[in-house]
Amino acid sequence: MGRIIGIDLGTTNSGISFMDGEEPKIIPNDRGNRITPSVVAFTEKGEILIGEAAKNQAVINAEGTILSVKRYMGSDHIFNLKQHGVYSPEEISSFILKKLKKDAETFLGEEVTDAVITVPAYFKENQRKATREAGRLAGLNVKRIINEPTAAALAYAYSIKGKANILVYDLGGGTFDVTYLSKENNRFTVQSSRGKSNLGGIDFDNLLLGKVLDNFSKECGIDISTDKILMQQLRDQVERAKIELTSRENALIALPFITASNKPLHLQFEITRREFEVLIEEFIGSTVELSLAAIKDAGAKPENVETLILSGGSSRIPLVRSMLSSAFKLEPEKKINPEEVVALGAAIQASMLTGEVNDIVLMDITPFSLGVEIEGGKFVKILQANTRVPARKSRVFTTISDNQRSVEINILQGESENASENTSLGRFLLSGIRDGKRGEPRIEVIFSIDADGILRVKARDIDTKVEQKITINSAFREYDEISFKEKISIKNRVTSLVNRVSALSEKFDGFLDRSFKKEIGETIRIATKAIVNENVKELSKCLIVLETLIGELNSLCYDEEAGEYEQA
């Protein structure tokens, strides 16, 4: 296997890494920086800028600049860039990935096609799928999607010897994630994980921005929040001030010459670290609480944590460090930059895939509960969140009406009691249930997940022994490129193409030479096998071949009508 690079595709910043022998290393971008802003911009001239270039012009081109696209991953949000067209979150992300790929190629002096990309542990199936799709659009073979905190732990624990209980606290620009892992020799076991997909540095910026705006409107009586350019300038200032407060006791936010009124005004706002801490205290407090909850989920106590790993730029905030230190009576690790730790871990994971590093074993958990929908649109959990994989569990259900012959099993992932608020991973029908009064038949639903994160669900009527099963490739860890729904649709398309090819080849049987007939026969055989095995890769290949065949057969039809073919 060739080289696989590691990519931390962040909300705010992204990073790339590779294994230099046994050591993971950050790949600097074309400007020599070790992280690249995850910013994409479309300029007046029709250029697409990515990274620093995009971030630097955000002030003068607020409308054409896209920040924090990761927050939209997996949603059907559309970025409408007027004359530049409309883009999906996957497409915007793919621009970032393309740049990272190119920077890696320049640095390494070779083509890069394979990558491991990290995502927050709390990313759902659709968000992971969107990330894979972004990779595909960027021309990358996404070898694996791994959880950011797991990557961070790998980066540290790679150098920690022996046993350790590790807490990874990751507070970036847009997301918060915490994971508790244990390491014994070289075996990592993820014990639990929690997070919030909408909490990060941006929120601190917003709090500070709100305070500045409030203050300004009180002082001068004007509201500048509708002026996009001004707001972008102010945002930059606010973030800069926030970062300054990490190393200094106070900071100044200043915007000269605001001309929204008849006489030019200056905005000036001074803030101390303590004032800023008061603003964000509640947020930080909730991250500490989630960290404690994660430890409790794992059946452990705060004092069991031996190694505290901080990741994400916002974890540099002194209040984060002091609140964590007092909650865990432990100083955080400082060896690796918090902005780089995830990317470095991704490179280690990549080398585990190529076999370069083969003495590390990673055991993961299901970060979400998995179960089925029952009467009244309720969700019943069969495998609880944080269940160690591999795992197998079953529950017995029954019918809701007399002589009910079939039940539909809707497989869900999530934590809400209401089925509709969770994510559906797939459905299937169990028919052939024995006749009986409602509540009599016993239907056992079995969930099992193997070490690769592949979920298998089986339902069977205990009395008649009829059963039905479904395999969901990677319910949580390694996601299949294609969803269950898409799988069904591609299967149906191939089936209908096979039927058409058969019909057409029968119709033109007399016109087809022997080798063409053989080709058709062979294609139908391969396609039928792919349909039976639900092999998506094969099905996609067949789709193209079958469509070509139909084109050729149809052209025979056309020619026949033109009378150009003679009966052989």
Coil, strand, or helix at residue 250?
strand
Coil, strand, or helix at residue 88?
coil
Burial class (CB in 10 A: 0-12, 13-18, 19+), 541: middle
Catalytic residue among 90, 170, 340, 478: 170
Q: Which of ligand ADP, Mg ion, none does residue 13 bind (CB under 5 to 8 Å by kind)?
A: ligand ADP
What's the rounded Cα separation, in Å, for the pair 25 and 18? 5
Cβ proximity to ligand ADP, 246 vs 304, nearer residue: 246
Closest CA relative to residue 157, chosen from 289, 290, 308, 343: 308
Q: Which of Mg ion, ligand ADP, none does residue 230 bind (CB under 5 to 8 Å by kind)?
A: none
Cβ proximity to ligand ADP, 204 vs 328, nearer residue: 204
Cβ proximity to Mg ion, 6 vs 414, nearer residue: 6
The residue at minimum Cβ distance from Mg ion is: 172
Residues numbered 5-34 forming contacts with Mg ion, rule: CB under 5 A? 10
- Answer yes or no: 148 catalytic: yes
Question: Considering the complex, what minimum distance in angstroms separates the CB of residue 70 from Mg ion?
Answer: 9
Sign of CA dihedral 145, 148, 149, 153: positive
What's the rounded Cα separation, in Å, for the pair 448 and 225? 52
- Answer yes or no: 70 catalytic: yes
Q: How many residues bind Mg ion (CB under 5 A)?
A: 3
Question: Considering the complex, what minimum distance in angstroms separates the CB of residue 152 from Mg ion?
Answer: 9
Q: Which of ligand ADP, Mg ion, none does residue 114 bind (CB under 5 to 8 Å by kind)?
A: none
Coil, strand, or helix at residue 371?
strand
The beta-strand segments (E) located in 398-465 are 406-413, 423-431, 443-449, 455-461
What's the one-letter identity of residue 380? V
Residue recorded with tokens 């002091």: 322
Question: Considering the complex, what minimum distance in angstroms separates the CB of residue 155 from Mg ion?
Answer: 13
Please report whether residue 172 would count as binding Mg ion according to CB under 5 A. Answer: yes
Question: Considering the complex, what minimum distance in angstroms separates the CB of residue 299 from Mg ion?
Answer: 28
DSSP states of 18-56: EEETTEEEEPP-TTS-SSEE--EEE-TTS-EEETHHHHH
Cβ proximity to ligand ADP, 13 vs 197, nearer residue: 13
Catalytic residue among 8, 340, 364, 480: 8
Question: Considering the complex, what minimum distance in angstroms separates the CB of residue 55 from ligand ADP?
Answer: 12
Q: State how far the alpha carbon of 20 is from the alpha carbons of 28, 250, 351, in Å.
A: 14, 41, 10
Q: Which of ligand ADP, Mg ion, none does residue 201 bind (CB under 5 to 8 Å by kind)?
A: ligand ADP
Please report whether residue 74 would count as binding Mg ion according to CB under 5 A. Answer: no
Cβ proximity to ligand ADP, 200 vs 414, nearer residue: 200
Per-residue contact track with Mg ion, 266 to 305, x per CB under 5 A? ----------------------------------------
What's the rounded Cα separation, in Å, for the pair 132 and 49? 22
Q: At what angle do helices 273-297 and 228-247 cross, to 10 degrees?
A: 80
Task: Tell me the backbone φ, ψ of residue 342, rounded to 5 degrees.
Answer: -70, -45
Residue recorded with tokens 């012009």: 57
Pairing of strands 406-413, 378-383: unpaired
In the complex, the residues that contact ligand ADP under the rule CB under 6 A are 10-13, 172-174, 200-202, 239, 242-243, 246, 312-314, 316-317, 339
Catalytic residue among 90, 91, 114, 148: 148
Please give the structure tokens belonging to residue 240.
């800069």
Cβ proximity to ligand ADP, 316 vs 388, nearer residue: 316
Q: Which of Mg ion, ligand ADP, none does residue 24 bind (CB under 5 to 8 Å by kind)?
A: none
What's the rounded Cα separation, in Å, for the pair 416 and 162? 39
Cβ proximity to ligand ADP, 11 vs 192, nearer residue: 11
Cβ proximity to ligand ADP, 244 vs 481, nearer residue: 244
* Pure H helices in 221-267: 228-247
Interface stretch with Mg ion, choices 76-84, 169-177, 347-355, 505-513 (CB under 5 A): 169-177
What's the rounded Cα separation, in Å, for the pair 44 and 84? 9
Q: Which of Mg ion, ligand ADP, none does residue 414 bind (CB under 5 to 8 Å by kind)?
A: none
Closest CA relative to residue 292, chosen from 308, 276, 277, 281: 308
Inter-residue contact 373 to 382 (CB < 8 Å): no
What's the one-letter identity of residue 564? E
Burial class (CB in 10 A: 0-12, 13-18, 19+), 154: buried
Question: Considering the complex, what minimum distance in angstroms separates the CB of residue 36 from ligand ADP?
Answer: 10
What's the rounded Cα separation, in Å, for the pair 525 and 528? 5
- Answer yes or no: 236 catalytic: no
Please report whether residue 345 would count as binding Mg ion according to CB under 5 A. Answer: no
Residues numbered 483-542 forming contacts with Mg ion, rule: CB under 5 A? none
Closest CA relative to residue 89, chosen from 56, 116, 127, 117: 127
Question: Considering the complex, what minimum distance in angstroms separates the CB of residue 339 from ligand ADP?
Answer: 5
Catalytic residue among 25, 55, 70, 101: 70
Cβ proximity to ligand ADP, 269 vs 379, nearer residue: 269
Question: Considering the complex, what minimum distance in angstroms separates the CB of residue 250 from ligand ADP?
Answer: 14
- Answer yes or no: 8 catalytic: yes
Q: Which of ligand ADP, Mg ion, none does residue 12 bind (CB under 5 to 8 Å by kind)?
A: ligand ADP
Question: Considering the complex, what minimum distance in angstroms separates the CB of residue 447 from ligand ADP?
Answer: 32
Residues numbered 312-331 forming contacts with Mg ion, rule: CB under 5 A? 312
Question: Considering the complex, what minimum distance in angstroms separates the CB of residue 10 from Mg ion?
Answer: 4
Cα separation of the two ends of the chain: 51
The contact set with Mg ion (CB under 5 A) reads: 10, 172, 312
Active site residues: 8, 70, 148, 170
